[in-house]
Structure 1
Amino acid sequence: MSDSIPDLLPAGSPAVPVRCVSTGDWPSVEASLPASQRAFAAASGFAPKAGRLALLPDAEGGLARVLFGLGDTDARGYDRFLTGKLPGLLPAGDYALEPEGIDAAEAALAWLLGSYRFDRYRTAPQKRARLAVPDGVDVEALSRIARAVALGRDLVNTPANDLGPAEIAQAARDLAARHGAAFTLIEGEVLARDFPLVQAVGAASTRAPRLVDLRWGPSGAPRVTLVGKGVAFDTGGLDIKPSAGMLLMKKDMGGAAAALAAADMVMGSNLPVCLRLIVPAVENAVSGNAFRPGDVLRSRAGLSVEIGNTDAEGRLILADALALADAEAPDLLIDFATLTGAARVALGPDLPAFFTEDDGLAAEIAAAGDQVRDPVWRMPLHAPYAGLLDSKVADINNVSGGPFAGAITAALFLRRFAPAAKAHVHFDLYGWNPSTKPGRPEGGEVQTARLVHALLAARYRA
């Protein structure tokens, strides 16, 4: 597994048992404890409130058992990932979750996701609590998902001085090699000729733009194409962001990270699909050859685009990538992007917006998100708002020029470049945990990746 997440210990390894206790279960659990442990729990004031912990000693003063409060598991706001808090609460050591009262696989996944640490730049990484595999849990499936999430989080957390377009492409190349996928890298003159919007956005950087095209799976299987926004750093271009607006712009490739993580899960699970992964990778910088407000650029699809704002660059590179994907009319086309502040204003950092015209698919997406604790919220592709993108000099403007419906108009812009896909979904995500929550440490996050894996498994697994 990734060094960012500790390896699971084999089932049956010597480990301290952890009993997760709900409010309703506490009286019977308390009565079952040895008298000394019952007295210690009472003396320490333990109650089974959500996130409460009690370390119960043995006769020699060592750690005999852990009690962990779940609170009211029937409450509307109960967090099924609550066991993801444990790695941050427990001292370093080896532990095993007792199976009573929990979904063992879900609890173990939450533990693994909560144990993630980004230690690349630390001289002395902290020791962490380790988990023994619960009985009956598919350790390969669990590790595969946790490893893919860690890959994506590592990419988002890596600062832009160490993660530019070339490093994003290398991460995709490494992923292709691990799964035996075909890998194509488009750059230089070919990129400038065939992907003019990608070239224009990345031209001002000393680190050249490029586009990754990965293919995996049998050609006769359902065609699923994932497209991820790979802006390694976004200054805003000539419409430059204020300094506060740039502080987290290393995460502007969060869409690419989510797409890579989802692809890792799909290939690792050997789902019966013909998978394609496309990532345009750029840095939106400032120099004498930067694209300008008011420029009119020709897209790969042939549509001319007036640049209303250079800080709306993500939709430009996605437009060229979607046009490439759409030429094959895939059965399902999904794009991931840290695209608009408007989506965050509407839904906050924890709840990505998604857009699709397919009502049945929307219901599947919502169900998959709830199933795997990767929540999203559908927003409307309100067709009349497309007129807000009208240009007086080109086929379309890249922004509406007004303060309203920014996430919707961005989604409508992208929809223009994928007319042939049988179904298209756009995820507008934040890609970052502003604070630590169970299973979600503060920092980079690959929102919607686990959802998409669950969705495709439900749709296509024989």
Structure 2
Amino acid sequence: MAQTFAESAQSARTLLTVRADSRDADLSSLTEAARAFVSRTGFKGGAGEMLVLPEGSGVDAIIGLGKGEDPLAFGSAPYYLEACDWQITGLPATLDPTQVMVAWAMGAYKFDRYKAAPRAPARLAAPEGADIAEAARLARSIRLARDMVNTPAEDMGPDGIQTTVEAVADEFGATVRVTKGDQLLKDNYPMIHAVGRAAEQEPRLIEMEWGDEAHPRVALIGKGVAFDSGGLDIKPAAGMRLMKKDMGGAANALALARLIMDAKLPVRLHLLISAVENAISGNAFRPGDILDSRAGLTVEIDNTDAEGRLVLGDALARATEEDVDLVLDFATLTGAARIALGPELAPFYTDDESLAEAINQGAVAAHDPVWRMPLWDGYDAQLDGTISDLKNTGDGPFAGSVTAALFLRRFVKGKRWAHFDIFAWNPKDKPGRPMGGEMLGSRAAWSALKSLYGKG
């Protein structure tokens, strides 16, 4: 991992911020020749727009902030600027300096497990008022989530997910318990077993616990489908190409757990990851099969490609057996969520108004946009089965993300809960969001948890 932050601003080069609506005023500190140079280049001050200036200009480079509201504009700087130390001048008071550091780190990320990065990124000296420790822990957790999602299933199957959880647990002194293979049936996790039994690597429920038992219990649940072929309802080639990312919920949940432990948030953490591969073999579960579940509900399989809600159902049932204060789950659950809100905006669902407000405020603080979607009771009956307690899909193609959330609600037992239906992937390069795996929704959740549990 290349160094992202400079140790000090001593000898650092200067990067001037320029807002689009006050471009001329923001450039007023430059020499006349430098202002003429900027004008000739057509620099407008758009978000993430960059320009290195000639020597003697008064500053070394300028960066556009657009309206000046989104720190992710700084994500374009690390690989545009020379790989040396930089300090920001003219940072608007509207921008949180800690989030500016996080945005810089997001832009400095390169996935280098299989191919070395072509160069090191530019390093940022902490702006005045920044919480350096918070920025560093966020940078490490974002890298963890992105690396997990970017790693192909050959190296990030159920075994790889378990190894990664164990490494994070070792770092913070957490305990890990794994229920694996046929032991899932003995310990009553039948849906996790059914979804993953056709794969070479055995399905498993990975549980990690950390913190003082006297503190409020917070359960984080991640969908860890290491690769999703669709099962017997097989996906087309185009739909299968990115299915290494179907464990993005697990990556986000683990990254959030890492933030909690690193910051020593006063909670009793319970992380649960259902790690499986939805593969095809002679013993694969079938359309029309009826599965038992840990919650005691029987589930008829309409479509084997709606498998994520099944493995989450058993994990939710396990989490809510405890005296739990809050349950959050993260899953790359439905294509319907992408059709509704696209790749950058994460829908979330909850029946708890105060929790919804905390998440919305957290999203604004973290610049990690989310959108609350309705747990619409009018659609709940679509899940009722005719020869089972419920089905794993709703009726027809409508409201697919809503009915998936309603399915999960059946397993929550009235606990305070929110579900994030995330994409966990950037489809193209944007400032601070390089193409590939992403920590999405869980940064908003982190800000919410800090406000709820005394670290805000």
Considering the TM-score relative to the shorter chain, is it more than 0.5? yes
Shift of 1:43: 4.0
Query: Is contact 1:197–1:316 with CA below 8 Å preserved after alignment?
Result: yes
Q: Cα 1:437–1:286, aligned 2, differ >3 Å: closer, same or farther?
A: same
Secondary structure class of the residue paired with 1:57: coil
- 2:232 touches 2:304 (CA, 8 Å); kept in 1? yes
Of residues 225, 230, 236, the one that matches 2:219 is: 225
Distance 1:431 1:179 in 2: 25
Distance 1:307 1:24, change over 3 A: closer
Q: Distance in 2 between matches of 1:188 and 1:53?
A: 53
Structure 1 residue aligned with 2:87: 96
Alpha-carbon spacing, 1:244–1:24, altered in 2? closer, same or farther (3 Å): closer
**The 10-residue stretch of structure 1 (5-14 or 106-115) with the greater mean CA deviation from structure 2:** 5-14
The structural deviation recorded for 1:444 is 0.4
Which one of the candidate residues 361, 364, 368 is aligned to 2:362?
A: 368
Q: Deviations over 1:48-74 (max 9, x none)?
A: 333332212225x9x95111122333x
Is residue 332–residue 421 contact of structure 2 (8 Å, CA) maintained in 1? yes
CA 1:55 to 1:438, structure 2 compared with 1: closer, same or farther past 3 Å? same
Moved over 4 A (4+): none
Aligned partner letter, 1:207: Q
In structure 2, list runs of 5 or more residues that go unmatched. none
The answer on whether the counterparts of 1:216 and 1:267 sit within 8 Å (CA) in structure 2 is: yes
Alpha-carbon displacement from aligned partner over 1:362-419 (angstroms, at most 9, x marks no partner): 1111111111111111111111211111211111111124111111111111111111
**What residue in structure 1 maps to residue 248 of structure 2?**
254
RMSD of the TM alignment (CA)? 1.8
What secondary structure does 1:128 align onto?
Answer: coil
| Cα distance change of structure 1 residues 352 and 89 upon mapping to structure 2, 3 Å threshold | same
Distance 1:10 1:241, change over 3 A: same
Matched, 1:80 2:71: yes
Conserved? CA contact 1:21–1:101, under 8 Å: no
**Is 1:120–2:75 an aligned residue pair?**
no
Q: C-alpha distance in 2, partners of 1:117/1:321?
A: 32
Partner in structure 1 of residue 29 of structure 2: 32
* Partner Cα separation in structure 1 for residue 141 and residue 230 of structure 2: 30
What's the secondary structure of 2:382's corresponding residue? helix
Instruction: Give the letter for the 2:385 counterpart.
Output: S
Where do residues 141-290 of structure 1 align in structure 2 (5 Å cutoff)? 141-193=134-186, 194-290=188-284
Q: Give me the whole-angstrom Cα distance separating, in 2, the residues matched to 1:30 and 1:295.
A: 67
Q: How many residues align?
A: 452
Tell me, yes or no, if the aligned pair for 1:169 and 1:211 is still in contact at 8 Å: no
Aligned residue type for 1:67:
I
Q: Deviations over 1:140-182 (max 9, x none)?
A: 1111001001000000000111110011011111111111111
Secondary structure, in 3 states, of the residue corresponding to 1:230?
Answer: strand
- 2:403 is matched with which residue? 409
* Deviation at residue 36 of structure 1 after TM alignment: 4.2
Please, which moves more after superposition, 27-36 or 138-147? 27-36
Tell whether 2:60 aligns with 1:69.
no
Of 291, 300, 307, which residue of structure 1 is paired with 2:294? 300
In 2, are the aligned partners of 1:306 and 1:397 still within 8 Å (CA)? yes
**1:100-127, CA deviations, whole angstroms, 9 ceiling, x for partnerless residues?**
3253222221111111111111146433
Write the distance in 2 (CA, Å) between the matches of 1:80 and 1:460: 26
- Report SS of the residue matched to 1:32: coil
Q: 1:330 to 1:172 in 2, by over 3 A?
A: same
TM-score w.r.t. the length of structure 1 is 0.94
Which one-letter code corresponds to 2:7 in the other structure?
P
Please say if residues 98 and 134 of structure 2, whose CA atoms lie closer than 8 Å, have aligned partners that are also in contact.
no
Give the percent of matched residue pairs that are identical in Structure 1 and Structure 2: 48
Query: For residues 100 and 384 of structure 1, what CA distance do their matches in structure 2 show?
Result: 49
Q: Deviations over 1:292-328 (max 9, x none)?
A: 1111111111111111110011000001000100101
Of 53, 56, 61, 1:56 maps to 53
State whether residues 4 and 121 of structure 2, in contact with CA within 8 Å, keep that contact through their aligned partners in structure 1: no
Q: Distance in 1 between matches of 2:5 and 2:117?
A: 22
> CA 1:454–1:124 in structure 2 vs 1: closer, same or farther (change >3 Å)?
closer
Question: Separation in 2 of the partners of 1:413 and 1:350?
Answer: 24
Within a 5 Å distance, the mapping from 1:386-405 to structure 2 comes to: 386-405=380-399
> What is the CA-CA distance between 1:183 and the residue it aligns to?
1.1
Q: Tell which deviates more after alignment, 405-414 or 91-100.
A: 91-100
TM-score when scaled to structure 2?
Answer: 0.95
8 Å Cα contact 2:4-2:122 kept in structure 1: no
SS of equivalent to 1:96: strand
Match of 2:447 in 1: 454
CA contact (8 A) 1:57 1:65 kept: yes
User: Does 2:127 correspond to 1:134?
Assistant: yes
Task: Give the corresponding residue for 1:432.
Answer: 425
Tell me how far apart the structure 2 counterparts of residues 405 and 58 of structure 1 sit (CA, whole Å): 57
Task: Output one character per residue of 1:425-457: Cα deviation in whole Å (capped at 9) or x when no partner.
Answer: 111111111112221111101211211111110
Partner secondary structure for residue 246 of structure 2: helix
